[in-house]
Amino acid sequence: MSTEDRARVRGALVAALDVVDAPPAERFERIVRVAREVFDVPLSYINVLDADLLHTLTPNVPDELASGPIGWSFCQLTIRDTGPTVILDTAADPRTADLPGVTNRGIRFYAGVPLTIAGGEPVGTLCLMDTAPREFSAQDTAALIDLGRWAERALGQGLHHDRLLEVAGALAPDALTLDGYRVVGLTVPYGDLSGDLHDWSVVDGDLVLTLADVMGKEQPAALLAAGIRAALRQHRSLGPVAALAAAEPAVAEDLARANAFATLFHARLHPASGVVELVDAGHGLAVHVAAEGAPRILRSHGLPVGLHHEGTPRTASAVTLAHGDALVVASDGALDLGDGTVDTLLDLARTLGRARDVHAFLETVRLRAAERAEDDVTVVVLVREPASGA
């Protein structure tokens, strides 16, 4: 790979880390504090280097420049090598004697180690600086390498976070049209990851639909939600009650270990008749929006998963969607979009009736959630198209 190509790769990786121009991060500051104490130096930095510029993530003094040309830096040497770069007297070394750090700032000692991610690609440095020449032992070098590995893990957290978001996005189902029906949905996480789950698939011509809400937020709740999704998908050929009965023992065990529980709406639509068989495990946040007449909230008939007594049978229920009807199912975060009561579901039903289409409705939900919600918000809409000619 040419020097120019390598610089472009490095620039792309630095962009993916999303750390340049970000507020100071304790995970980086802690490392350089330790480095200054361990090596008794006044200056220590974690830097990233894109195609043209060095960006420090840990300024040491007020108003210190956070970015500058790579060619002005000591770290241009470190990034080219696989091991540490140690310069005991920068004024005596022809590679560094004329650098601004020496001539303007009086830096006389430099030691740096490259930081690599994504299979060994160098993206930055952890470095030490002092205003006087000094010795640096083999033990010191080994300690610097160890601190460098720590800094690499801290940098890599950004990529792991992005990968989590990528996986979470991949698990969200695409909008679906099936025999005169449409199903769409969205989740607006309160943080980066949601403990809400919505899923659907077609099995033997029927639509199997799930919405679950795991107690808690962010990554722990999201992991439990993914487990519920996987367990129910494994049994999606069964009716809703039987599927939950088959999946619940293992799911409840996971939830118990995590001291959590989940409310769940799990349903199966038979397109020809419009009948939706369902089981509601403590959820109670579904509303039948009739084309004619008032919307009706579908009440829950059971305890949440993780609180339900093993061996107690779940209760099945059903609703029939006529042409032009819709079924709206939400997580409890959606209650923040209104007055905090289940009457918010009726308000959502009226909003759906006024919207020009379901996508406009979901955009309204998304905007309200971003402004008002203090929890994850998920809304799923299943619509039966009006009869032909209606």
Residue 274 has which token pair?
């419009």
On whether both 145 and 78 belong to a single domain, the answer is yes
On whether both 195 and 333 belong to a single domain, the answer is yes
What is the domain count for the chain?
2
Give yes or no for a contact between 151 and 28, defined as CB atoms under 8 angstroms apart: yes
On whether both 121 and 203 belong to a single domain, the answer is no
On whether both 176 and 149 belong to a single domain, the answer is no
Q: What does the pLDDT look like over 321-351, one tens digit per residue?
A: 999 999 999 999 999 999 888 899 999 999 9
On whether both 378 and 264 belong to a single domain, the answer is yes
Instruction: Say which CATH number the domain at 204 has.
Output: 3.60.40.10
On whether both 107 and 195 belong to a single domain, the answer is no
Highest averaged pLDDT of the listed ranges 10-24, 213-227, 288-302: 288-302
CA 270 to CA 286: how far, in whole Å? 18
Beta-carbon contacts of residue 140 (< 8 Å; ≥ 6 apart):
39, 111
Residue 220 lies in a domain: yes
On whether both 185 and 61 belong to a single domain, the answer is no
On whether both 242 and 159 belong to a single domain, the answer is no
Residue 390 lies in a domain: no
Residue 185 has pLDDT above 60, yes or no: yes
CA 106 to CA 127: how far, in whole Å? 16
On whether both 26 and 151 belong to a single domain, the answer is yes
Q: Name the DSSP class of 282.
A: B
On whether both 176 and 223 belong to a single domain, the answer is yes
| pLDDT recorded at residue 60 | 78
Q: Determine the structural domain holding residue 199 and report its residue range.
A: 172-384
Point out the domain boundary residue: 166, 201, 229: 166
Q: How confident is the model at residue 48 (pLDDT cuts 50, 70, 90)?
A: very high
| pLDDT recorded at residue 296 | 94
On whether both 213 and 321 belong to a single domain, the answer is yes
Q: What does the pLDDT look like over 109-163, one tens digit per residue?
A: 999 999 987 557 788 999 999 999 999 999 999 999 999 999 988 887 766 666 5
Please tell me the least confidently modeled range out of 56-60, 259-263, 264-268, 274-278: 56-60
